[in-house]
A and B are shown apart, each in its own frame.
Chain A
Amino acid sequence: MKKILSGNEAIARGAMEAGVRFASAYPGTPSTEILETIAKEFPQIHAEWTPNEKVALEVAAGASYAGARALAAMKHVGVNVAADPLMTLPYTYIRGGLVLVSADDPDLFSSQNEQDNRNYARFAKIPMMEPASSAEAKDFVKAAYRLSEEFSTPVMLRTTTRISHSKGIVELGEPEDPAEASLERHPAEWVMLPANARRRHPVIEDRLKRLTDFSNSSRFNFIEINDTSMGIIASGAAYQYAREAFPDASFLKLGLSYPIPDLLVREFAAKVKDLWIVEELDPFIENQVRELGIECHGKDRIPLCGELSPDIVRDAVLGAEKKGAKPLNLPVRPPNMCPGCPHRGILWALKKNKCFIAGDIGCYTLGFLPPLDAIDTCLCMGAGINHAHGMSKVLGDGKKKIAAVIGDSTFFHSGMTGLLNLAYNRGVALIVILDNRTTAMTGAQDHPGTGVTLDGSKNIDIDMEGLVRALGINWVQSIDPYDVAMARQKVKEALEQDGPAVIISSAPCALLPSRKVPGVPLRVDADKCTGCKVCLAIGCPSIEFKDKKAIILDTCTGCGICKAICPFDAIGGDV
């Protein structure tokens, strides 16, 4: 049977057909739908959100040690968080197949960088598979499990946004029977003390040689000879772009791009006149080809930054001038925090207290945009608290108003250690936990703070204040961010502390069913409105300004933040 699936849905399907029993992930665009699909459609697989990616990879490794096929999925930067286990796992005996899916994001559609995670495969000395379509995504997942078990190695499968989020036709297959889990002991291969790990390192090096042989004979690497004046080596989405841009060229398509199939590359290079390497982001294949002593074109002409497309590839190879259609200057639609978003009130309160606001990653990062202009840093998940601590230490004496904001999901991901450090090292900073009871940015996933798991059951109930106290913070207060005056007052109090202070800004995301906003739009009393524009300062998409007056649109949720800050009492309605 044929079905149209996205790359992520195809990966989920592939996992099911491969008899995977365990899947773990922390959400992150463009990888999130892999676990969501598994949880929704294949309940026979145990699927879980973990607090972060390191946990995701380690629990999957545990399942593999117990003999089950396991999958861990994450966005590209998530692999940085999981890099510690990733670098040593290849030293260990992989029992049940273990596949790590890394969803990269060339062009940064929704990420803080565009790192090329194929480099991790080389770094960790494990195979790298790069599907070029939904059909391949499913097929490759199944092959990755066979490869993982045959060579006892973790296998990385890399998608990009265009593979994960594009759809194509997939032929569905029959599921394999999952392997039974059982307990075994393999201390020499599982206890990575120096003496054991030293013995395991040559095993990896030898395995790489055998993997190269495999790569040469694998059906995932193949040559298509056409016109031999031009030969293109390509992988992933870039293969599709090159194939479309140069339909008559000869191709070496790499589905297994690490280790590179050296013999195939030599054979192909000998057959074609001009050799091109077309790949997105880093010269990953290109460098391996050059190491074989083969000259080629690649990043000398093809852009390294951003994503490719058929026309970008064509123009780069032909050296064509960029077609000079004059760009239209159209008003943009930047993403914004939603009407009724609880983040808006507390960010405004921090701003009114003239804080430097170390930010983190989540919907609240959008508070960086004018007119709110409320976020001063954003590096990676969990960094904000630590920025604030480092800054306040060198700035001294707590007179500078240093605050950090962090979402609840991010707090559980990697904020708790930073908060512990702040308490432990007597930092002076205000940390605001934006507890909106969800991972909003990536589409509202549950996390340990909600206690609800991927199968919908509620297992734990975390006492946020208690947790913060347990980490060594004495001054902790919860506030309602819609009560803007109170929020402002509490921020002021917190900033007067001579030790660390934590405010828990507690209100569910405005898109959740449990939201606090009434959903009834407020109205502006045109007689009272003086056109002062104070209400515009919070950047609410429901407020327009026309004919020197503010107007509230029907998309208003009645959250009341604008009403609370209006100096002329001109905004009314049932709040």
Chain B
Amino acid sequence: MNVIMAGVGGQGIILASDILTEVAMRHGYDVKKSEIHGMAQRGGSVMSHVRFSKQVFSPIIPRGECDILLSFEELETARYLEFLKPGAWIVINRYRLPPPTVSIGKEEYPDVEGIVREKTQRFMFVEADNIALSLGNRRVLNSVLLGVLSTLLEPDVATWEECIAVKLPEKVRDINIQAFRKGRETK
């Protein structure tokens, strides 16, 4: 199973992919993940590849072999379409962060839905930021998205919730579990 998580610095992608990695290991898989971080704090794109199966060699997903793209920001979705396998699922958070050229009016924010539709019909939008806000903390949007992701994967809810609990500090544990459950209810 090959999952790409994409978005921008500050959305909790690294943590979300760490949780997925832990879930996969506890479920008994070999797992590897690779991500490009470093300049994330400075508004750049962030991308994480998570792979699990009986044995994983490359930590990066070859083009054309991604099963699920979990996108935290609309535009970022469009950058990774060439990684998708035919029949892959795309989950898109309905959130836009205009890149600098768009903010200063030099370029338009692209029509992501149109671009995606040309490639596949297997996508869905999720209001993860709004759901997180309704729970009182926007930062749990990553757990909302993990909830959605979990419905597309094999490991059971108990394993997921255990791993969320392990990876998060006590203070924010419950709200993240709630966010995860809300995510699971979204269809």
Task: Spell out A's residues near B (CB within 8 Å).
Answer: 2, 4, 29-30, 109-110, 133, 161-162, 165-169, 237, 240-241, 243-245, 309-311, 314, 323, 325, 328, 330-338, 366, 443, 511, 536, 539, 541, 543-546, 553
Query: How many A-B Cβ pairs are below 8 Å?
Result: 127
Find residues 72-114 in chain B having any chain A CB closer than 8 Å to their own CB. 75, 78-79, 81-82, 98-105, 107, 109-110
B25 touches A4 (CB 8 A): yes
A162 to chain B, nearest CB (A): 6
Query: Assuming A167-B32, A335-B42, A338-B42, is B21 touching A4 (CB within 8 A)?
Result: yes
Q: In the complex, A82 Cα to B69 Cα: how many Å?
A: 42
B32 touches A325 (CB 8 A): no
Q: In the complex, A336 Cα to B45 Cα: how many Å?
A: 12
Q: Which of B8, B58, B79, B101 has a CB less than 8 Å from the CB of A244?
A: B58
Binary contact readout B37-65 vs A (1 if CB under 8 angstroms, 0 otherwise): 11101111100000000001111101110
Q: Does B181 contact A (CB under 8 A)?
A: no
Q: Does B127 contact A (CB under 8 A)?
A: no
A536 proximity list for chain B (CB < 8 A)? 104
B59 touches A323 (CB 8 A): no
Q: In the complex, A311 Cα to B44 Cα: how many Å?
A: 25
B138 to chain A, nearest CB (A): 12
Q: Does B22 contact A (CB under 8 A)?
A: yes
Closest to A363 in B: B42
Top 8 A-B pairs ranked by shortest CB distance? A166-B59, A335-B39, A166-B34, A544-B103, A311-B62, A244-B57, A310-B62, A335-B42
Query: Assuming A162-B60, A309-B62, A336-B43, is B107 touching A331 (CB within 8 A)?
Result: yes
B30 proximity list for chain A (CB < 8 A)? 169
Q: In the complex, A162 Cα to B32 Cα: how many Å?
A: 11
B43 touches A333 (CB 8 A): yes
A337 touches B75 (CB 8 A): no
A423 to chain B, nearest CB (A): 35
A169 touches B31 (CB 8 A): yes
Interface centre among A166, A336, A443, A543 (most CB of B within 10 A): A166
B37 proximity list for chain A (CB < 8 A)? 165
Q: Which of A330, A333, A511 has a CB less than 8 Å from the CB of B100?
A: A333
A169 proximity list for chain B (CB < 8 A)? 25, 30-31
A4 touches B31 (CB 8 A): yes
Interface centre among B39, B75, B78, B110 (most CB of A within 10 A): B39
A162 proximity list for chain B (CB < 8 A)? 34, 59-60
B104 touches A545 (CB 8 A): yes
A328-B115, A544-B103 known; 13 other A-B pairs, CB under 8 Å? A4-B22, A4-B31, A110-B39, A166-B35, A166-B60, A167-B34, A241-B60, A243-B57, A331-B110, A335-B44, A336-B43, A337-B42, A545-B105
B41 touches A338 (CB 8 A): yes
Q: Does B36 contact A (CB under 8 A)?
A: yes
A335 touches B43 (CB 8 A): yes
Q: In the complex, A332 Cα to B25 Cα: how many Å?
A: 34
A328 proximity list for chain B (CB < 8 A)? 78-79, 81, 110, 115
Q: Which of A237, A330, A335, A443 has a CB less than 8 Å from the CB of B79?
A: A330
A543 proximity list for chain B (CB < 8 A)? 103-104
Q: In the complex, A543 Cα to B41 Cα: how many Å?
A: 17
B38 touches A110 (CB 8 A): yes
A133 touches B35 (CB 8 A): no
